[in-house]
Amino acid sequence: MTAALVGITILSLFIVCGLFALVSVMIGKQKTGVPFLPIPSHLLEEILGALEIAPESVFYDLGCGDGRVVRSVAKSEPRARALGVELVFFPYMLARIRNFFHPVKNVVIRRANFNDISLSNATHIFLYLFPPVMDALLPKLESELRGARVVSCDFPFRNRAANRTILVKNEKHRAHTLYVYEF
Ligand SMILES: C[S@@+](CC[C@H](N)C(=O)[O-])C[C@H]1O[C@@H](n2cnc3c(N)ncnc32)[C@H](O)[C@@H]1O
């Protein structure tokens, strides 16, 4: 009897958490125009290669989701500063929880709209966003960045040519393109 009660309680908790996550992601998509869709982990090495983070780098993942990119960058260069900016509560909490249980000391996760924060100290930025959001972000990047590298996964800026594109292809996964921009 007690075991059944515990089982029902755990199941209910899972259902409530699942529903909460689903609703949060749906509201997030409404709010930002981009769903929470984490980058496939097998791309992380390629992203790090495209970014070329140095000890003095200041890296931003604009819309950091669960924090996987910002954490990889921070681990790859412990002297760099790595900031993840996420507006939606559920992915933001995932990123914070990950960093709580597996701390990476040069990572900061901020809950904010990336349109409202200054990016003037950024040397490297990663984006995995949709085209209309990219279009809206471009003027801000052009006015605030001085000598920064921006890497966007799968979605290029429609009004700016990439300096380099990297096709990531292997037999196991679908192909992805990294667009590299120098600002
Ligand atoms: C496709 S996911 C990418 C997550 C992460 N960058 C990755 O590659 O795993 C895009 C994320 O950007 C967030 N986002 C979209 N617009 C935003 C904004 N204006 N400010 C902060 N976060 C935003 C969404 O909530 C979503 O979690």
Residue-level pLDDT at 17: 72
Domain of residue 175 covers 41-182
pTM of the model: 0.90
Query: Considering the domain boundaries, does residue 85 fall inside one?
Result: yes
Q: What's the CATH number where 129 sits?
A: 3.40.50.150
Predicted local confidence at residue 13, as pLDDT = 82
Give the pLDDT score at 26: 74
Ligand 1, atom 18, residue with closest C-alpha? 113
Q: Does a structural domain hold residue 45?
A: yes
CA distance 34 to 169: 24
Cβ atoms of residues 183 and 167 within 8 Å: no
Between the CA of 181 and the centroid of ligand 1 the distance, in Å, is 19
Centre of ligand 1 to C-alpha 25, Å, is 11
By most ligand atoms within 8 Å of CB, the mutation choice from 26, 27, 36 for ligand 1 is: 36
Report if residue 165 sits inside a domain.
yes
When divided into structural domains, the chain yields a total of 1
Residue 18 clears pLDDT 80, i.e. is over it: no
138 within a domain of the structure (yes/no): yes
- Calculate Rg over the CA atoms of the chain: 18
Establish if 19 belongs to a structural domain: no
Identify the pLDDT of residue 61: 98
What is the arithmetic mean of pLDDT over 139-156? 98
Q: What is the pLDDT of residues 39-67, one digit of tens each?
A: 999 999 999 999 999 999 999 999 999 99
Asked whether residue 6 carries a pLDDT value surpassing 90, the answer given is no
94 CA distance to ligand 1 middle (Å): 13
Q: Which protein residue's CA is at the shortest distance from atom 16 of ligand 1? A: 32
Residue nearest to atom 6 of ligand 1 (CA): 64
User: Is 53 inside any structural domain?
Assistant: yes
Residue 56 lies in a domain: yes
Asked if residue 104 belongs to a domain, the reply is yes
* Residue-by-residue DSSP string for 155-170: ---TTS--SEEEEE--
CA distance 47 to 126: 8
